[in-house]
């Protein structure tokens, strides 16, 4: 538990930073910022998944370019007897219902009898649905529509309503201010109805259908939903509205339709508007096939496919206003949107979105993992690991999508990216400050290569000591006091600086650490803070180079008429306590312990120009050092005298064998 608390204390800043970012992303998700990008990712999954086969329960008769050409029936809009003839011919093949995705909100002024022909065929079929559309209360333009319903319109709503909105006070249904109804003549002959609105998302793409909207207190179904209700022979009593689900209790099974908070169904698009994805025939194709059958010829299309299906008639021609973008294509007919919605419901083939609670959990877990990865590993490694995690997340998202389940993607991605970037910048800034502090602390005492090692692993200089085996070196000028009495202060400083400069350069040459100056004495160590397996050898070679460099200095000083100096040196190897010792504000990197004291005693016992090493050091360097064994040395605190050696030179390669 103590280690756990210490880990939290050390990483408090990045933990708080990550928590703040995760909470921020959760708030963005809750407020809906970035939802368009989330939709775009889902759109891409549609395209990766590719088209799905057509449903045999839904059929489209398309009024496309080939039907409105001058060689066929001419430009749109057509006279209403064409639609009446379509109802008559389609009815021969016994569809379950005929849904017109064409608005008839005004009487035919030039040909008044056309309305009678269309109403008569609709009444005769007893399965024709005339649609209407609603204008939401949020719409800016009223265009002169009346909020008051005609008696026929009110009766139509009574017939098709699935309940009262006031019975569901907690549900925010889309509210309409106006309903633009068919003319009364068609209302009186319609077998069913519904609105044809499908509200696009903020980026203009149609991804969902509101299955229920509110007008006054009526709950009105979408016309595609009405067609499915009729297909299964349901009444309002067979339909339940609860817990963001619309439940259809059919004779054979229960269909649960997942919806959002406004009771819009996410459309499980099948693909582009193509025959492979949707059962359809052109209007002229249906006409030609019908007359071919009557003449005993082989039809171009098997119209028996209309049997027991929900047949939609709608505009698909280029340039008409009834085209809109979907995840698969920028131009998709509205009749195709309605037909796809109807096929989703009739087959129970729904896309289900993850609930808000699960989204929050996914964002939190993604942020937590990004924190653990980025805090533990260096920038490049953590970037790779975070990318791997995101790849796994997206792969899992796609697998779920392929099984008709949509989870949030952009928000976990945002949490991971923001946490990675924030922690990386924080760590970089902190490490740069640490590097500056390390360089400021050590660049005067160790070589640049040792500084680089410390920067790579700052833990080597943490406050506090550790027990470690290393080699300690002491040197001191012999007779320095008497020499300083015979020279001016400037001359003393000049000689001392020249001597110390050369000695320190040699210490750094062999990657030693200058521990401290003590007047004219020098203390250095090898084996810390950077690990050095051959620390005793490095110390010995440095000391011997110092001895030879001092000989060169002495010769030059004598030529210049300056007084020369002699130095005694001592080296010992053993376990010491080493570390950055002091307070949080003031600390020095140094060593303490009996083996440090022994190195100092060896130097004190060394004569001018003499280098004495301990038994422990000798065992480490005996393969490279020529020595004379001296008389055992008595050390205070030690009962037994210690073996010591004077170094007389370094062995050549031939001597070392």
Question: What confidence tens digit (pLDDT) does each residue in 568-592 have?
Answer: 999 999 999 988 776 666 667 788 9
Could you count the other beta carbons within 10 Å of the beta carbon of residue 552? 10
Q: Is the pLDDT of residue 465 over 90?
A: no
Query: How confident is the model at residue 188, as a pLDDT?
Result: 94
Q: Is the pLDDT of residue 150 over 90?
A: no
Phi and psi for 225 in degrees, rounded to 5? -65, -40
Q: Is the pLDDT of residue 464 over 80?
A: no
CB-facing half-sphere around the CA of 489: CA atoms within 13 A: 0
The residues, ordered by sequence, that sit 6+ positions from 627 with a Cβ below 8 Å of its Cβ are 613, 618, 645, 646, 647, 648
Query: How confident is the model at residue 3, as a pLDDT?
Result: 56
The residues, ordered by sequence, that sit 6+ positions from 41 with a Cβ below 8 Å of its Cβ are 409, 410
Query: C-alpha angle with apex 90: 89 to 96, nearest 5 degrees?
Result: 150
CB 634 within 8 A of CB 641: yes
* 369-426: pLDDT as tens digits: 999 998 888 889 999 999 999 999 999 999 999 999 999 999 999 999 999 999 888 8
CB 217 within 8 A of CB 149: no
Q: What is the SS3 string spanning 118-164?
A: HHHHHHHHCCEECCEEEEECCCCCCCCCCCCCCHHHHHHHHHHCCCE
CA distance 103 to 486: 119
Q: Is the pLDDT of residue 110 over 80?
A: yes
* 535-558: pLDDT as tens digits: 999 999 999 999 999 989 888 888
Q: Which residue has the higher pLDDT, 490 or 645?
A: 645
Q: What mean pLDDT is reported for the chain?
A: 87
Q: Is the pLDDT of residue 148 over 90?
A: no
Region 204-224: mean pLDDT is 94
- Does 3.30.70.1230 match the CATH number of domain 458-656? yes
* 277-307: pLDDT as tens digits: 788 899 999 999 999 998 889 998 999 999 9
Q: Is the pLDDT of residue 657 over 90?
A: no
Q: Is the pLDDT of residue 454 over 70?
A: no
The residues, ordered by sequence, that sit 6+ positions from 120 with a Cβ below 8 Å of its Cβ are 84, 189
Q: Is the pLDDT of residue 450 over 60?
A: no
For 446, which DSSP code?
Answer: B
154, 444, 490 from 494: Cα distances, Å = 111, 19, 6
| DSSP-derived 3-state class of residue 657 | coil
Query: How confident is the model at residue 378, as a pLDDT?
Result: 86
Query: How confident is the model at residue 4, as a pLDDT?
Result: 52
Query: How confident is the model at residue 126, as a pLDDT?
Result: 95
**Total count of residues recorded for the chain:** 657
Parse the chain into domains and list their residue ranges: 2-33+354-430, 35-352, 458-656
Query: How confident is the model at residue 394, as a pLDDT?
Result: 94
Q: Is the pLDDT of residue 477 over 70?
A: yes
Query: How confident is the model at residue 278, as a pLDDT?
Result: 85
Q: Is the pLDDT of residue 82 over 60?
A: yes
CB 44 within 8 A of CB 328: no
Strands 280-282 and 58-63, by their bridges, are parallel
* 315-347: pLDDT as tens digits: 998 877 788 999 999 989 999 999 999 999 999
Confidence band for 254, pLDDT divided at 50, 70 and 90 = very high
Could you count the other beta carbons within 10 Å of the beta carbon of residue 623? 10
State what percent of residues in the chain have pLDDT above 70: 90
Region 201-210: mean pLDDT is 92
Q: Is the pLDDT of residue 125 over 90?
A: yes
Least confident of 57-66, 294-303, 359-368, 513-522: 513-522
Region 440-454: mean pLDDT is 57
End-to-end C-alpha distance for the chain, whole angstroms: 57
Q: Is the pLDDT of residue 446 over 60?
A: no
* 19-46: pLDDT as tens digits: 899 999 999 888 888 888 889 999 999 9
Confidence band for 458, pLDDT divided at 50, 70 and 90 = low
């Amino acid at each position: 538990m103590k280690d756990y608390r210490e880990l939290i204390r050390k990483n408090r800043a990045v933990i708080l930073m990550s928590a703040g970012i995760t909470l921020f992303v959760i708030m963005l998700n809750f407020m809906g910022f970035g939802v368009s990008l989330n939709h775009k990712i889902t759109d891409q999954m549609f395209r990766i998944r590719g088209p799905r086969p057509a449903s045999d329960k839904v059929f489209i008769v398309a009024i496309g370019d080939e039907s409105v050409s001058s060689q066929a029936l001419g430009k749109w809009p057509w006279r209403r007897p064409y639609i009446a003839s379509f109802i008559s011919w389609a009815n021969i093949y016994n569809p379950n219902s005929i849904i017109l995705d064409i608005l008839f909100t005004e009487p035919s002024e030039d040909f008044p009898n056309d309305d009678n022909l269309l109403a008569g065929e609709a009444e005769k079929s007893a399965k024709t649905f005339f649609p209407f559309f609603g204008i939401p209360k949020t719409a800016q333009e009223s265009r002169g529509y009346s909020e008051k319903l005609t008696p026929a319109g009110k009766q139509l709503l009574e017939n098709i309503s699935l309940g009262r909105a006031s019975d569901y006070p907690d549900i925010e249904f889309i509210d309409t201010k106006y309903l633009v109804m068919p003319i009364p003549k068609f209302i009186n002959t319609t077998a069913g109805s519904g609105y044809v609105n499908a509200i696009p998302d903020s980026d203009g793409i149609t991804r969902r259908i509101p299955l229920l909207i509110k007008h006054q207190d009526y709950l009105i179904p979408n016309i595609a939903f009405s067609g499915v209700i009729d297909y299964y022979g349901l009444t309002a009593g067979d339909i339940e509205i609860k817990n963001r689900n619309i439940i259809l209790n059919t004779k054979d099974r229960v269909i649960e339709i997942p919806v959002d908070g406004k009771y819009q169904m996410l459309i499980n698009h099948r693909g582009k508007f193509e025959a492979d994805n949707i059962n359809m025939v052109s209007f002229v194709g249906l006409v030609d096939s019908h007359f071919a059958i009557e003449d005993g010829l082989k039809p171009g299309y098997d119209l028996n496919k209309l049997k027991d299906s929900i047949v939609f008639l709608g505009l698909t021609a280029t340039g008409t206003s009834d085209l809109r973008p979907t995840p698969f294509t920028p131009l998709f007919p509205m009749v195709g949107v309605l037909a796809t919605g109807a096929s989703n419901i009739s087959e129970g083939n729904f896309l289900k979105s993850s609930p808000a609670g699960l989204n929050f959990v996914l964002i939190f877990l993604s942020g937590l993992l990004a924190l653990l990865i980025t805090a533990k590993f260096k920038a490049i490694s953590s970037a790779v690991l975070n990318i791997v995690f995101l790849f796994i997340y997206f792969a899992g998202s796609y697998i779920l999508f392929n099984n008709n389940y949509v989870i949030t993607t952009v928000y976990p991605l945002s949490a991971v990216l923001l946490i990675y970037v924030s922690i990386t910048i924080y760590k970089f800034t902190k490490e740069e400050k640490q590097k500056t502090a390390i360089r400021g602390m050590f660049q005067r005492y160790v070589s640049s290569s040792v500084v680089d090692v410390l920067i790579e692993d700052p833990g080597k200089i943490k406050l506090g000591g550790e027990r470690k085996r290393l080699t300690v070196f002491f040197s001191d000028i012999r007779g320095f006091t008497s020499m300083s009495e015979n020279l001016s202060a400037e001359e003393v400083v000049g000689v001392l600086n020249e001597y110390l400069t050369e000695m320190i350069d040699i210490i750094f040459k062999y990657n030693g650490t200058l521990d401290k100056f003590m007047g004219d004495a020098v203390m250095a160590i090898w084996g810390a803070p950077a690990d050095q397996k051959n620390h005793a050898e490095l110390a010995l070679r440095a000391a011997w180079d110092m001895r030879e460099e001092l000989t060169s200095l002495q010769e030059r000083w004598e030529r210049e008429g300056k007084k020369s100096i002699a130095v005694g040196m001592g080296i010992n190897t053993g376990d010491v306590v080493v570390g950055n010792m002091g307070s949080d504000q003031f600390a020095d990197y140094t060593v303490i312990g009996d083996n440090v004291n022994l190195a100092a005693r060896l130097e004190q016992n060394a004569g001018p120009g003499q280098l004495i090493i301990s038994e422990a050091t000798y065992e480490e360097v005996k393969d490279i050092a020529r020595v004379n064994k001296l008389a055992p040395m008595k050390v205070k605190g030690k009962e037994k005298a210690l073996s010591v050696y004077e170094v007389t030179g370094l062995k050549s390669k031939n001597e070392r064998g």
